[in-house]
Amino acid sequence: MILLCSMTFLFSVNVYAQFNDTIHKKVYKVGQPNIQGLMYVDNSGYHKGFPFEIVLHLAQDENIEIEWEPGTWPQLYKKLVDGDIDILPGTQVTLARKREIDFLKTNLFTMWSELYLSSDAQFENLYDLEGKKIALVDEDNNAAGFVEYINDFKIDYIPVSYPSHEAAVQGLKQGEVYAMVGPTSKVFNKLFKGLRNAKLYFNPTDLNIAFAKNKDKELQRKLNYRLEVYKSNPNSIYYELIRKYSLANYRIDTYVFPLWGKLVLIAGLFLVIVSFSFIYILRKRVELKTRELIKRKEFLKQVLKISEMGGWSLNLNKGEIFWSDELYFLHGLNSANPISVEEMKNLIHPDDREKVLELMDYHIKNRKDFSLEYRVIVASGEIINTRQIGVFEVNEKEKINLLIGITQNITKENLFKQELIEAKNTAEANDKLKTLFINNMSHEIRTPMNGILGFTSMLEKTGLSDEKRKNYIAIIKKSGAKLLRIIDDIMEISILGTKQIELKETKVGLNQLFDELQSIFQIKASSKGLRVNFTKIYSDQDCSLLTDESKLNKILSNIIENSLKYTESGSVDLRFVIENMNVKIYIEDTGIGISKNQQERIFERFYQVQKDSKLNEGLGLGLAIAKENAELLGGDIFLSSEEGKGSIFSLTIPFNRIEDQAEEQIQGNIIESQSIKKNARVLIAEDEPTNTLYLETILNEQSDYCFEIIKVENGKEAVQECLQRDGIELVFMDLKMPELDGFIATQKIKDHNPKISIIAQTAYSSSAERERAKAAGCDEFLSKPIEEETVIKVIRKYL
Ligand code: ADP
């Protein structure tokens, strides 16, 4: 089929091409009659008149070659009938002619015939032609038309025959005839110029282009098509020629649009404009509202996100559940897979499920709004705490059909609540501790104070033997030391309670620290007949670490002290190992041990196993202080103990290794004593006379020094002395003094003379205080009560 179609198409194209070729190869003969006004050749040889010019344009546009064949109208008409010429332009269409020749389907225009009068002719109506001579041109269509037209009026006129229009015009002008018949004067305006017109128009005849009968059909079709194209375009050459020749009886009708049509059109246009404006405004409003809605939606989303909330609804009639996107997000689920009621039930934590479902059931049955809190397991497996608030929606028939609500993740809120409860508990515990502490204090402080005051008054008695006096003094010293220990512990535990302790990390040599501890506790151990073994297996370099030395010292001292206290025979051993970036220090004793059930509790504040026993001299704070300090250093204390056999306390702290070999100069190195007495000017700034006297006594007891002691009672005087008096080498500066405190006084003195050594002394021994003193310029920091030995060390170090 396709092949057949293609062949037919190719054949058609071929035939068409052949036709085209024949048309374009041939030179067509066109008759050239000379009819002045209608069609003629002017003096310059140009073809003028509508029929000639339109033929020329048609031939040119269709690419057709023509040659002109001049002759008279009758001759040329005959030639056309005989097929000697091909085309005759400007031929009037009549039935008789149609039988002999072909015309284009489309006419050029319609012509009318007219009656022209002689100069003296009187004409009012057709009957004036009665008996008059009328000029008729031979073979003229206008003449034929007149005969036919006048025939109906039965007017008896005298026809006078002329061979051409020119001859007829001549006859009329010369008065040979009363009137003559011819074509419209518009066409023949040159020929009929000056002639009188009877204003009688008749015989409308189409003017067309004629072709030899049944010859060149394709040419006719092409030219006809081209002519129709011209006619359909008001700007074409056709209308240009019509305007040029102002052709009679032919006008381009201008269509007058009716008023009602105009009104309808205007109303329609108005409606269209109004509709468009309305649509535009509507669209803008919709856009604005949509934007507002999106903004609100985003805002709502944000709010829901911040409050970790999502919405849900349960259709109770259908048993269908709907979740908002936020809710799917909250549960880590994909909203593309809608959840079912069963799946939702399974999300409830198994421990809460039964209770929750029971409660829900109750609320649904009783149409009661609810607010529940329960745990949910989300997609990641995480357990979250949720709050569910549900409200019933009642339809117009008072039938519950919808339960809508929200789910909120309240995990953080619960944690916060928990923290608050814990904080409240801590506050309450602290309050209890305070009460306990006050109760304890009364007893613990009174005991040593009793000893001090009691035996001090005993000393006042006269006649005491040396032995008794020494004994009393020893008791006073011991009681004083105990009191000091209590005060220290209280200070320490209250500072630890504030949780605002800053660690002061320095390089600490464990071997050195062990040596110091051994030298301190050896005496006490020996007095009880106990052995002390402090084992050091690492080189100094290998066991230096970065930590807070005073805290480490405190921890170990407290534990060793306990071991010595609760061991009656055997030994106390101290050793340490470094493994996995930790230092483990073991303090092992062969003492009374601690029962399993007490082991957990002995680290609590104020907890004592042997309460009220003679053994117990402390406040029950030692291990609590040790444990809390160990935690501060990033470590912990562990205990393994067996009642009656002994205990092993192990302290673990991070081993922050130090590669630096340089050893810091340990404070208090005693300088070799000098044999020659040394002169020195020393200033004691102290507002408490007892303390001044104490320092003065120690200084004066130094046999190898000859001191000039200047005493002042406030910081202001201290500064004045140092500024005005030369040669002051050492200042004992109390930090808390009237007028000007020790910190500012030190600063001023150091600004004036940095060489003066200033030894701070204070009853406040916190590390913050130490730091402040150091920053002010103090060279040394002594906590009150100051031991004689410490004062001597300082003198020897700085003088
Ligand atoms: P205390 O001031 O009573 O010594 P601690 O906090 O230092 O307070 O110790 C708490 C309790 O732990 C002590 O009262 C004691 O009963 C027990 N304890 C501590 N160390 C030892 C030890 N090495 N051997 C036996 N019991 C100990």
Tens of pLDDT, residue by residue over 168-200, are 989 999 999 999 998 887 766 677 777 888 888
Judge whether residue 11 has pLDDT over 50. Answer: no
In 378-439, beta strands by DSSP E: 383-394, 400-409
d(CA 620, CA 610): 10
Taking residues 92-110, report their average pLDDT.
Answer: 91
Task: Summarize the confidence of residues 415-443 as an average pLDDT.
Answer: 81
Tell me which of 158-162, 681-685, 690-694 is least confident: 690-694
pLDDT band at 30 (very low <50, low <70, confident <90, very high): very high
Top-ranked range on mean pLDDT: pick from 140-144, 396-400, 509-513: 509-513
For ligand 1, atom 7, which residue shows the shortest CA distance? Answer: 622
Average pLDDT over residues 550-558: 93
In this prediction, residues 235-260 reach a mean pLDDT of 69
* pLDDT at position 353 over 70: yes
Q: pLDDT, tens digit, for every residue of 293-317?
A: 999 999 988 898 888 999 999 988 8
Instruction: Tell me 128's DSSP state.
Output: G
Q: Name the one residue in this structure whose structure tokens are 């500066």.
A: 733
Distances in whole angstroms, Cα of residue 12 to Cα of each of 15, 16, 17, 25, 70: 5, 6, 8, 19, 38
Q: Is the peptide bond before 33 cis (omega within 30 degrees of 0)?
A: no
- Is residue 568 within 8 A of residue 644, CB to CB? The reply is no
| Contact status, residue 718 vs residue 749, Cβ threshold 8 Å | yes
Is the bond into 258 cis (omega within 30 degrees of 0)? no
How many whole angstroms separate alpha carbon 703 and alpha carbon 675? 10
Distance 762 CA to ligand 1 centre (A): 30
CA of 562 to the centre of ligand 1 (A): 6
Angstrom distance (rounded) from CA 365 to CA 356: 14
The pLDDT of residue 290: 94
For ligand 1, the distance from its centroid to the CA atom of residue 603, given in whole angstroms, is 9
pLDDT value of position 451:
84
Distance CA 545, CA 529 (A): 33
Per-residue confidence band for 252, with pLDDT thresholds at 50, 70 and 90: very low
Instruction: Give the range among 479-488, 604-613, 620-629, 677-686 with minimum mean pLDDT.
Output: 604-613
**Residue 373, pLDDT above cutoff 80:** yes
Question: What was the pLDDT predicted at 178?
Answer: 93
> Is 555:653 a contact under the CB 8 Å cutoff?
no
CB atoms within 10 A of CB 300: 13
Q: What are phi and psi of 148, to 5 degrees?
A: -65, -45
Question: Who's near 329: CB < 8 A, 6+ residues apart?
Answer: 310, 335
DSSP 145-165: HHHHHHHTTT---EEEEESSH
Mean pLDDT of 445-451: 83
- Please give the mean pLDDT across all residues of the chain: 86
Chain center to CA of 465: 91
Work out whether strand 678-685 and strand 728-734 pair parallel, antiparallel, or are unpaired.
parallel
pLDDT reported for residue 462? 82
pLDDT, average across residues 46-60: 93
Which residue, chain included where needed, has tokens 């690492």? 538
Q: Which pLDDT does position 546 carry in this prediction?
A: 93
Q: Are strands 780-783 and 757-762 parallel, antiparallel or unpaired?
A: parallel
Residue 446: pLDDT band (50, 70, 90) is confident
What is the DSSP pairing of strand 370-377 with strand 383-394?
antiparallel
Mean pLDDT of 213-230: 92
Task: Select from 485, 556, 562 the residue to mutate for testing ligand 1; criterion: most ligand atoms less than 8 Å from CB.
Answer: 562
Q: Is 89 helix (H, G, I), strand (E, B) or coil?
A: strand
Distance from the CA of 430 to the center of ligand 1, in angstroms?
Answer: 21
Query: What residues form DSSP beta bridges with 782?
Result: 761
Mean pLDDT of 790-798: 89
Helix axes 50-61, 217-232, angle to 10 degrees: 110
pLDDT confidence of residue 436: 67
pLDDT average, residue stretch 564-573: 94
Whole-number pLDDT of residue 103: 95
pLDDT at 408 over 90: yes
pLDDT digits (tens, 9 = 90+) for 131-169: 999 999 988 888 988 998 888 888 899 999 998 888 998
In this structure, the number of other CB atoms found within 10 A of the CB of residue 493 comes to: 19
Helix axes 767-776, 742-752, angle to 10 degrees: 30
Please, how many CA atoms are within 13 Å of residue 553, restricted to the half-sphere of its CB? 16
CA-nearest of 666, 669, 682 to 721 is 682
764 secondary structure, DSSP code: -
- The sheet with strand 370-377 has its strands ordered as 320-323, 309-315, 400-409, 383-394, 370-377
Q: Which residue has the higher pLDDT, 607 or 325?
A: 325
Q: Which of 12-26, 351-365, 561-575 has the lowest mean pLDDT?
A: 12-26
Distance CA 742, CA 762 (A): 10
How far, in Å, from the CA of 615 to the mean position of ligand 1?
A: 10
Q: Which of 530, 556, 566 to mutate to test the pocket of ligand 1 (most atoms within 8 A of CB)?
A: 566
Q: How many CB atoms are closer than 10 A to CB 738?
A: 10
**Ligand 1 pocket, Cβ-based, cut-off 6 angstroms:** 562-563, 566, 589, 591-594, 602, 607-610, 616, 618-624, 647
Other CB atoms within 10 A of residue 193 CB = 10
Task: Find the 549 Cα to ligand 1 centroid distance in Å.
Answer: 23
Q: What's the CA-to-centroid distance between 767 and ligand 1, angstroms? A: 26
pLDDT tier for residue 242 given thresholds of 50, 70 and 90: confident
Picking from 706, 693, 675, 687, the residue whose alpha carbon sits closest to that of residue 795 is 706
Angle, vertex CA 333, rays to CA 328 and CA 338, nearest 5: 70
One DSSP character per residue, 582-629 reads EEEEEEEE-SS---HHHHTGGGSTT--TTTTSTT--S-S-HHHHHHHH
Count CB atoms within 10 A of the CB of residue 437. 19
Pair 94, 103: CB distance under 8 Å: no
| DSSP symbols for 663-689 | PPPPTTPPPPPPSS-EEEEEEEE-S-H
pLDDT average, residue stretch 29-55: 89
Residue 641 dihedral angles phi and psi, to the nearest 5°: -150, 155
Which residue has its alpha carbon closest to ligand 1 atom 25?
A: 593
- Phi-psi category of 45—alpha, beta or left, where left has phi over 0 and alpha has psi -120 to 50? left
Position 659 confidence tier, pLDDT thresholds 50, 70, 90: low
Q: Give 663's pLDDT tier (boundaries 50, 70, 90).
A: very low
Cα→Cα distances 596→559, 586, 609, 650, Å? 18, 19, 12, 16
Torsions phi, psi for 430 (to 5 deg): -60, -35
pLDDT tier at 440 (50, 70, 90 boundaries)?
A: low
Bridge-based pairing of strands 179-183 and 87-92 is: unpaired
Q: What percent of the chain has pLDDT over 70?
A: 90
pLDDT the model gives residue 220: 93
pLDDT the model gives residue 544: 92
pLDDT of residue 784: 80
pLDDT above 70: residue 398: no
pLDDT at res. 250: 38
Cα angle at 325 between 319 and 329, to 5 degrees?
Answer: 110
Instruction: Map residue 130 onto helix, strand or coil.
Output: coil
Q: Residue length, the chain? A: 799
> Which numbered atom of ligand 1 lies nearest the CA of 608?
14
pLDDT, tens only, 744-765: 999 999 999 999 999 999 877 6
Distance of CA 107 to the CA centre of its chain: 78
Q: Tell me the CA–centroid distance for residue 446 and ligand 1, in Å.
A: 21
The closest residue, in CA terms, to atom 16 on ligand 1 is: 609
Counting other chains too, the contacts that 322-328 makes at CB distance below 8 Å and 24 or more residues apart are 326/301, 327/407
The DSSP call for residue 35 is B
Kindly indicate the confidence band of residue 261, based on its pLDDT and cuts at 50, 70 and 90: confident
pLDDT, mean of residues 564-588: 94
Q: Which of helix, strand or coil describes residue 377?
A: strand
Closest listed residue to residue 115, CA positions, set 97, 133, 92: 133
Residues 6+ apart with CB under 8 A from 444: 486, 619
Question: How far, in Å, from the CA of 347 to the mean position of ligand 1?
Answer: 51
The angle formed by the CA atoms of residues 696, 698 and 703, to the nearest 5 degrees, is 110
Lookup: tokens for 729: 């080498």
SS3 at position 43: coil
**Residue 733 three-state SS:** strand
Read off the DSSP letter of residue 503.
P
Under 8 Å CB-to-CB from 749, ≥6 apart: which residues? 718, 719, 722, 723, 731, 756, 758, 777
Strands 571-579 and 636-642 turn out to be unpaired
Residue 558 pLDDT level (bands cut at 50, 70, 90): very high
DSSP assignments along 227-263, one per residue: HHHHHH-TTSHHHHHHHHHT-TT---PPP---HHHHH
Cβ atoms of 735 and 690 closer than 8 Å:
no
**pLDDT above 80 for 269:** yes
Q: How far apart are the CA of 87 and the centre of ligand 1, in A?
A: 143
- Would you state the pLDDT for residue 676? 59
Structure tokens at 709: 């002691």
Provide the pLDDT for residue 613.
54
- pLDDT level of residue 319 (50, 70, 90 thresholds): confident
C-alpha span between 177 and 159 (Å, rounded): 9
Which segment of 61-70, 114-123, 743-752 scores lowest on mean pLDDT? 114-123
Q: What share of the chain is helix, strand, coil (3-state, %, to 5)?
A: 45, 25, 30
Closest residue by Cα to atom 2, ligand 1, is 618
The minimum-distance atom of ligand 1 relative to the CA of 618 is 2
Q: CA-CA distances (angstroms) from residue 333 to 325, 381, 403, 475, 583? A: 9, 12, 22, 77, 49
Q: Which residue has the tokens 């067996």?
A: 642
Q: How confident is the model at residue 488 (pLDDT cuts 50, 70, 90)?
A: confident
**Start-to-end Cα distance in the chain:** 129
24 φ/ψ sector (left φ>0, alpha ψ -120 to 50, else beta): alpha
Determine the average pLDDT of the residues in 602-607: 85
Of 602, 610, 627, best ligand 1 pocket probe by most atoms within 8 Å of the beta carbon: 602
Atom of ligand 1 nearest to the CA of 620: 8
Q: Is the pLDDT of residue 254 over 60?
A: no
Residue of 607, 608, 648 to test ligand 1 pocket, by largest number of atoms within 8 Å of CB: 608
Beta bridge partners of 575: 586
Percent of the chain surpassing pLDDT 90: 50
